[in-house]
Amino acid sequence: MKFSFKNDYSEGCHPNILQALLSTNFEQQAGYGEDDYSLEAKKLIKEKIKSPDSEVFLVSGGTQANLIVISAILRPYQCVISATPGHILNNETGAIEATGHKVLSIETADGKLRPEDIVPVLENHSNIPHQVMPKLVYISNSTELGTVYLAKELEELSNFCREKGLYLFMDGARLGHGLTSEISDLTLEKVAELTDVFYLGGTKNGALIGEAIVINNEDLQQDFAFNIKQKGALLAKGRLLGIQFMELMRDDLYFDLAKHANIQAMKIKNAMKERGVQFLADTYTNQIFPIISNELIKILSENFEFFVWKKIDEKSSAIRLITSWNTGDEPVQRFIEIIGREL
Amino acid sequence: MKFSFKNDYSEGCHPNILQALLSTNFEQQAGYGEDDYSLEAKKLIKEKIKSPDSEVFLVSGGTQANLIVISAILRPYQCVISATPGHILNNETGAIEATGHKVLSIETADGKLRPEDIVPVLENHSNIPHQVMPKLVYISNSTELGTVYLAKELEELSNFCREKGLYLFMDGARLGHGLTSEISDLTLEKVAELTDVFYLGGTKNGALIGEAIVINNEDLQQDFAFNIKQKGALLAKGRLLGIQFMELMRDDLYFDLAKHANIQAMKIKNAMKERGVQFLADTYTNQIFPIISNELIKILSENFEFFVWKKIDEKSSAIRLITSWNTGDEPVQRFIEIIGREL
Amino acid sequence: MKFSFKNDYSEGCHPNILQALLSTNFEQQAGYGEDDYSLEAKKLIKEKIKSPDSEVFLVSGGTQANLIVISAILRPYQCVISATPGHILNNETGAIEATGHKVLSIETADGKLRPEDIVPVLENHSNIPHQVMPKLVYISNSTELGTVYLAKELEELSNFCREKGLYLFMDGARLGHGLTSEISDLTLEKVAELTDVFYLGGTKNGALIGEAIVINNEDLQQDFAFNIKQKGALLAKGRLLGIQFMELMRDDLYFDLAKHANIQAMKIKNAMKERGVQFLADTYTNQIFPIISNELIKILSENFEFFVWKKIDEKSSAIRLITSWNTGDEPVQRFIEIIGREL
Amino acid sequence: MKFSFKNDYSEGCHPNILQALLSTNFEQQAGYGEDDYSLEAKKLIKEKIKSPDSEVFLVSGGTQANLIVISAILRPYQCVISATPGHILNNETGAIEATGHKVLSIETADGKLRPEDIVPVLENHSNIPHQVMPKLVYISNSTELGTVYLAKELEELSNFCREKGLYLFMDGARLGHGLTSEISDLTLEKVAELTDVFYLGGTKNGALIGEAIVINNEDLQQDFAFNIKQKGALLAKGRLLGIQFMELMRDDLYFDLAKHANIQAMKIKNAMKERGVQFLADTYTNQIFPIISNELIKILSENFEFFVWKKIDEKSSAIRLITSWNTGDEPVQRFIEIIGREL
């Protein structure tokens, strides 16, 4: 079996989670998220973000989190603004539109949004009432390209949104990776302060399933649970989500796991960089996009699984390598050895 | 801690499932339901239903299964027919309507639908195009009242639906309990033969989460997976669902668990019946609705948790008791003893 | 050609409207409701209701008005309460559900809703967040059965709704008929004061098309125009709607037309009543539901068109007769003569 | 009052229509499109397109036609492909998304779509089931930029769509102008042959309201009327639409009106061209986009109303001039005179 660098959800979950599932299995607990573990997980999250008035809701996956948050917040005629690689734009089978809302796409170099990217969109949507009303800015951190928001960037975007009456929503499917990136100066606390809503992704960072939606804007908290139930996301055995986030939040497991994934990716990145390899983007999280020759792709493919991401020219393509909380040193070493040998 | 008869999702999952999660945890597997376990689970289900051309899709919960199936099948102007206690009608926060479809409600004595219940609904919807078009009959087995469909009843309903061009969809959140009821002569194979779509509920029968949607009508299979993704129900780590159904389907664990729950409920029912207790409905699955005095409710409440379901008169109410795959003999005995002592 | 008592939209429009269309036809006017006539019509309506802060929006038809108002007001998990004969429940092809909202049905004797009808619905929807949240009470005046709300009834309902946090929306497809009924003590001004939203129906009272939505609750006014455009209801030549309501509102044409229709119906009603005919409901607007023998139905059918509404027994049925702003004395006299001859 | 070249819906309707409304006003007719005039209009349209098996449905406006057709045809996970200027993309307040469907945007030079524009979109949507499925190609003729499809272009596009299993839908809000353009070699008959659905726009070509949806693909005809009612587009007095299309289709009034509008626009275009004016696009219908100096814009604005469409540089902008069925020679002459004097 070849080792896979295809994604960060190839393995099960961190052993602590399985252990907790085992040790609590026969306890009778309340259903629908009212169990002790869900309550404890929410408490831990609110402590970590130092925002006691935020509300936390646990759901199963990222597409689910995105569609519930967006459809709960927007009025029928309001729309979302997203950078072009935004997960909601191209990888969720039109989940947002299926709830009735348009997603406007903004082309940016690095998958991040800045106020100056949004200004022309607002200007081009002034023909009231013939056009949708932009109302929510959707960003991902780390982004779908592996880039991250610096504190100053998020502050500027947040200020801009508040000034323009736009909600700011951060997709945190890989928030752990974003925040523990070696170049990140952003903290979880700061994220809670600067966004209206964000979520902590569990699925791609050591959980079996689970994203923790955090609603910081109190106006958006009311009745939110109804939306979760209506979209089929309220698990009868909510303990499954509660136990996972309780374990991930205990000590700093969540961040330790993400950091590990980042470090493994950086080892490969640095090894390739030293040998002169170019990258599609200069990323510092668990996703890297090296541009290599078709021959090298062929050789690597004999030992590893990964996606060929983008054809660059007749002779070379960018590949995508993703490491996870569980990527050991062995496959990383082996990968680096082949690089060393071939380049 | 009082023992709870409130529902069948108070505990975790059958130990075999946790064991399988543990033993497979570090294997790298494909995402989004393409893992080996999901494939194996689907194979086992198709073997059990003896319907190799059916298609199986694994999702997280009942509301999710209901809204995905119904919205995938119906055209915008078509609607659902359900008996009044139908879960989709009153317990899913308008999940079906949120996908655009009306649910027509038919009052029946036992929560089951028969052709004669449906005929007048069809007759009253003949003012084309001013009314919704009834197109899908939604039934639950066991029903929300704990009653079950006999083979002959399902056959008649199925024939009627085919004749009238209606789809027949069985909510199987408690299908195990329905089929293993002591009075049931229906088999899983027969269910597959007589319905267009049904699902095998895992959440209420020993899984942590999970319902296995089975599409028997080949016209309805095409492109179904798109709907699962769009509604946020496609788990990145689909293995979580696959492993659970693989374990539940192995041997007859799924049916053994349901049968156990039914037996525990019947013990209580029979003990109460012997002492002259009346029931809201004559049920033979894991839900019973005894009518008892307010005093007895008070005494029982000191030892057990359960729902007071319906006020009967000033002195008495029906309570709802639900047993699960994990309800042991001790609480059942203790409950029966109190009954014996008090009545 | 037989004279038709089938409905109140069999003829074109009041001649004043055609005259105004002719005399203004070649003027260039702004599009999308910004024309002088629409502005004038809105001004006249606000004067008549003595509510200068209300906002008026003109749309084409009743189903359109209903779906736009309801989908604009409600959050995704909120639902509507309607009496069983409510037009939105059974005569609009699921238009409300198609926008995502459930409509709860309450059986009442006369098609009107009273606080005591609504109380149990609220009580039965307290299982948060598993059930839809009732939020909007939909009533029609006159109702689909031809009955009307008295001032005291509407006051009580309005007070109840405000106390319970429910919006009150009046479908006024036949509001003219309701207010000019000989038994009505309600005024247009009072309607504006007691409802959050209502509309003045033009289509069934002398216009070619058109309903004037009046939003009294200022919280509901914001951005409303977006919803009209999004649902395809914003006419490029909004002048067509403006001119019609300008003419209907000038002097009291709107009420004169409705009163005429009511009077013609009452003539028939009284003639039948004198001869001992029973009615399905005791109505005082332009819809009457006399119960007559099958033989008489046959005889009348030779001269008139009307709907046989409801079978009463083997020998008799209720028929529905509707008069309009344009129903002349001749057919009414002829109908009464036949009644006189046959009964 | 300045003469307006802002749009083609500034005036009322062709006098023949008003005359017909007058002469038929007091006839009692069936409601909901079953009146004699609607039947006659549909018959005339089917004759003109020489496609007896097509089905015709009359609705009020373009946004309404677009949202009904698209939501009726597509399954929830399917999406639309449109050129960037497509009316549904940017001028209908997200009406299509509000019915649940994404609209993919393709940048093209002239607002027209060709197979080579669509191929990469299909290629980029092959990650099943994570992406929406492109299923319907939406084009406008004339386009929103005033350009037209030639017969060969439409044939190629139609063949491509059929080969790829895509539906082809033509927005014909300005179909008359497209077909009567001096450079068009396309016929109405050909349009019916090459598209699955199209509509004949009345609102912008001499009617008060009204678009005639023509469904050529028989698979798409079934139950279509339900969608019209559900979206609030079924007029009780359908005669209003029937009479208008009956008059427009009689002889060739519809085409005569469009041709007149085109000719008036071409007079202005040619006069400007002779004086060296450049145009944003080389159009041959009733919309022209001359690029002129800010000074000239100022001078023209003293006499005429029109939109300044796009800033070209500091000194000049493109303006949009639209002529209509009713644009007389006087304002055109006057406009040309000013041009002659100033350039």
- For residue C229, pLDDT over 90 is answered with yes
Q: Given the structure tokens 């049920």, which residue do they identify?
A: B283
pLDDT digits (tens, 9 = 90+) for C252-265: 999 999 999 999 99
CB-CB under 8 Å, B10 with A230: no
Q: Which of C190, C173, C218 is nearest to C73 (CA)?
A: C218
pLDDT of residue C281: 87
The pLDDT assigned to A336 comes to: 97
Using 50, 70 and 90 to split pLDDT, how confident is the model at C65?
very high
* Nearest chain D CA: its distance from A94 CA (Å): 6
Q: Does D276 touch chain A (CB under 8 A)?
A: no
Host H or E run for residue C290? strand C290-293
Low-confidence stretches of chain A (pLDDT beneath 50)? none
Task: Tell me if D76 and A97 make a contact (CB, 8 A cut-off).
Answer: no
Euclidean distance between CA atoms C80 and C105, whole angstroms: 9
Instruction: List residues bridging with B198 in a β-sheet.
Output: B170, B214
> What distance in Å separates the CA atoms of residue C31 and residue C229, rounded to the nearest whole number?
13
Tell me the sheet residues that pair with D282: none
| Average pLDDT value over all residues in chain B | 97
Predicted pLDDT of residue D281: 87
Instruction: Find the helix or strand (DSSP H, E) in which A338 lies.
Output: helix A329-342
User: Domain count of chain D?
Assistant: 2
Q: Looking at chain B, which subunits does it touch, using at least 3 CB pairs closer than 8 Å as the criterion?
A: A, C, D
Nearest residue of D to residue A80 by CA position? Answer: D94
User: Which two tokens mark B32?
Assistant: 């989004």
Gyration radius of chain D's alpha carbons: 20
* Alpha-carbon gap, residue A46 to A55, rounded angstroms: 8
CB contact under 8 A, C11 and D26: yes
Q: How many residues does chain B have?
A: 343
Which residue type occupies A154? L
Which residues partner with A101 through β-bridges?
none
**pLDDT at res. B43:** 98
From the CA of D187, how many Å to the nearest CA of chain A?
A: 31
Q: How far is CA B143 from CA A27, A135, B87, D265, in A?
A: 27, 43, 9, 69
Which of D222, D251, D280 is at the close of a domain? D251
| C180-239 residues touching D, CB cutoff 8 A | 203-204, 208-209, 226, 229-237, 239
Question: What's the rounded Cα separation, in Å, for the pair C216 and C196?
Answer: 5
Q: Phi first, then psi: give them for residue B274, nearest 5 degrees.
A: -55, -30
Q: In terms of domains, do C237 and C258 share one?
A: no
- Cα B176 to Cα B68, B140, B202, B259, C5: the distances in Å are 21, 12, 9, 8, 57
What pLDDT, on a 0 to 100 scale, did the predictor assign at position A190?
98
Q: Please determine, for residue B81, whether its predicted confidence score (pLDDT) is greater than 90.
A: yes
User: Could you tell me which chain A residue has the CA closest to the CA of B227?
Assistant: A93
| Whether residue B301 sits in one domain with residue B169 | no
Residue C260 parent element (H or E): helix C253-274
Whether residues B103 and B71 share a domain: the answer is: yes
- D17 Cβ partners below 8 Å, 6+ apart? D206, D207, D208, D243, D244, D247, D248
Residues of chain D with pLDDT under 50: none
Q: Would the CB atoms of B93 and A226 count as touching at under 8 Å?
A: yes
Which pairing describes strands D307-311 and D55-59: parallel, antiparallel, or unpaired?
A: unpaired
Q: In sequence order, what are the residues at sequence separation of 6 or more whose Cβ sits closer than 8 angstroms to the Cβ of residue B173?
A: B62, B87, B140, B199, B201, B203, B204, B211
Q: Please indicate if any CB of chain A lies within 8 Å of the CB of B26.
A: yes
From CA B45, how far away is CA B212, in angstroms rounded?
9
- Inspect the interface and report whether the beta carbons of C129 and A234 lie closer than 8 Å: yes
> Are both C239 and C118 inside the same structural domain?
yes
Give the list of residues 6+ apart from residue D1 with CB closer than 8 angstroms, or none: C28
Tens-digit pLDDT profile for residues D139-189: 999 999 999 999 999 999 999 999 999 999 999 999 999 999 999 999 999
Whether D64 contacts chain C with CB within 8 A: yes
Q: Is the pTM of this model over 0.95?
A: yes
Task: With CA atoms as reference, report the closest residue to A97 among A109, A106, A108, A105.
Answer: A105
Angstrom CA distances, B199 to B9, B145, B237, D201, stand at: 17, 18, 21, 47
Counting residues of chain C whose pLDDT is more than 90, the rounded percentage is 99
The whole-number pLDDT of residue D91 equals 96
> What does the pLDDT look like over D237-268, one tens digit per residue?
999 999 999 999 999 999 999 999 999 999 99
> Domain of C272: which CATH number?
3.90.1150.10
Compute the half-sphere exposure of residue B236: CA atoms within 13 Å on the CB side of its CA.
28
Q: Are C25 and D18 in contact (CB under 8 A)?
A: yes
Q: Between chains, do C92 and D229 touch, taking CB under 8 Å as contact? A: yes
My answer on whether D36 and D89 are in the same domain is yes
Cα–Cα distance, B121 to B131 (Å, whole number): 11
On whether both D242 and D282 belong to a single domain, the answer is: no
Predicted complex ipTM: 0.97
Nearest residue to B229 via CA among A93, D103, A70:
A93
Mean pLDDT of chain D, nearest integer: 97
**DSSP state for residue D53 in the 8-state scheme:** T
How many angstroms separate the CA of residue A181 from the nearest CA in chain C?
Answer: 38
Q: Are D237 and C12 in contact (CB under 8 A)?
A: yes
What span, in angstroms and rounded, lies between the C-alpha atoms of C256 and C247?
A: 12
A122 and A44 share a domain? yes
State yes or no: pLDDT of C144 exceeds 90. yes
A19 Cβ under 8 Å from any chain B Cβ:
no
Structural domain that includes position C276: 3-9+254-342
Mark yes or no for CB contact B232/A233 under 8 Å.
yes
C178-205 mean pLDDT: 98
Q: CB under 8 Å to A290, separation ≥6 — which residues?
A: A269, A272, A277, A278, A279, A280, A318, A319, A321
CB atoms within 10 A of CB C97: 29
Mean residue pLDDT of chain C comes to: 97
Q: Are residues D124 and D175 located together in one domain of the fold?
A: yes
Pinpoint the alpha helices (H) of chain B: 15-24, 36-48, 62-73, 87-90, 95-98, 115-123, 151-164, 175-179, 188-194, 224-230, 239-249, 253-274, 294-301, 329-342
Q: For position B20, what pLDDT does the model report?
A: 98
Task: Tell me which of B223, B251, B279 is where a domain ends.
Answer: B251
- Residues B219 and B335 grouped into a single domain: no
Task: Choose among C260, C245, C228: nearest CA to C329.
Answer: C260
Q: How far is CA A234 from each of CA A237, B61, D35, D132, rounded to the nearest angstrom?
A: 9, 8, 51, 25
CB of B213 closer than 8 Å to CB of B197: yes
Q: Do D223 and B75 touch (CB under 8 A)?
A: yes
Residue with tokens 């929830």: D76
D172 and D306 fall within a common domain = no
Two structure tokens written together for B212: 């296995």
Contact call for B229 and A15, based on CB within 8 A: no
Q: Tell me if residue D300 falls in helix, strand or coil.
A: helix
Tell me which chain A residues have a C-beta less than 8 angstroms from the C-beta of D99: 100
First to last CA, chain D: 25
Q: Mark whether A21 and A127 lie in a shared domain.
A: yes
- Structure confidence at residue B1 as a pLDDT band (50, 70, 90): confident
A130 in reach of chain D (CB within 8 A): yes
- What single letter denotes the amino acid at residue A295? E
Q: Are residues A77 and C223, on separate chains, in Cβ contact within 8 Å?
A: yes
The rounded Cα D84 to chain-centroid distance in angstroms is: 15
- Strand D304-305 to D3-4 pairing: parallel
Cα–Cα distance, C161 to C158 (Å, whole number) = 5
Q: What is the CATH number of the domain that holds C147?
A: 3.40.640.10
B vs D: CB pairs below 8 A: 53
Predicted pLDDT at A139:
98
Predicted local confidence at residue B90, as pLDDT = 94
Contact of B101 with B131, CB cutoff 8 Å? no
Closest residue, chain B, to A89 (C-alpha): B230
Measured distance CA(C293)–CA(C307) in Å, rounded: 14
Kindly state whether residues A227 and A207 are assigned to the same domain: yes
B133 touches chain D (CB under 8 A): yes
Task: Please state, in angstroms and as integers, the Cα–Cα distance from residue A281 to each residue in A106, A267, A284, B220, C176, following that order.
Answer: 18, 16, 10, 43, 67
Dihedral sign, Cα of residue D33, residue D34, residue D38, residue D43? positive
Q: Which of D90, D91, D127 to mutate to test the interface with A (most CBs of A within 10 A)?
A: D90
Which of A252, A268, A286 marks a domain boundary? A252
Name which of A296, A295, A289, A262 is nearest A273 in CA terms.
Answer: A289
Chain C residue with Cα closest to D18: C22
- Give residue for tokens 């993703």: A322
Interface test with C, best of A223, A231, A234 (most C CBs within 10 A): A223
Q: Over the range B192-217, which residues count as b (16 or more CB within 10 Å of their CB) and which as e?
A: bbbbbbbbbbbbbbbbbbbbbbbbbe
Determine the 3-state secondary structure of B128 from DSSP: coil
How many angstroms separate the CA of residue D64 from the nearest CA in chain B? Answer: 16
What per-residue confidence (pLDDT) applies to D1?
A: 79
